[in-house]
Amino acid sequence: MIMAASCSPAVMEKTPASASQEDDRPETADPFDPGLRDGTALFALYLSESDSERGWTWLCAAALKGHPVAQSTMATRYRYGQAPVDQHAVRAYLWYSQALANGLAAADALRSDLVKGMTPDALRDARKRAKTWKPGGCQHFGG
């Protein structure tokens, strides 16, 4: 699953063997379509368009489908306030927690490092929310 992180847009171009298959990336594709069940594929699409609003949509869809690297990437975007989101330590904590719960061991160290810069109130809030929080949307807060 983590191998998807090394894909580049050139790697994801159609090859002659796949040319007859329908492309999952038409401009009208809905990343939240229940037919697109593979978080790894959605994460690969994010990597191909990571600098765009559409890339954010692919990333969020992969994270919501349980892809731990996508979840960790969401956390990092919130941690540092990378477009299109504003900095939000509590949301970063929640996404790192999801990535850890889904098997990404590195998320534990990332979350621990994040905690060092959080206020006691923010950490208390994050830990309280993490007990019951389930990802449910892909809103962003800023530009």
Selected residue with higher pLDDT from 132 and 37: 132
Tokens of 34: 């229940």
* Contacts of 29 by beta carbon, 8 Å cutoff, 6+ apart: 36
CA 105-111-117 angle, to 5 degrees, is 160
Tokens of 133: 């929080």
Write out pLDDT tens, residues 63-82.
Answer: 888 889 989 999 999 999 98
Write out pLDDT tens, residues 77-133.
Answer: 999 998 788 899 999 999 999 999 999 999 999 999 999 999 999 999 999 998 888
Residue with tokens 């994460």: 43
Residue with tokens 């050139």: 10
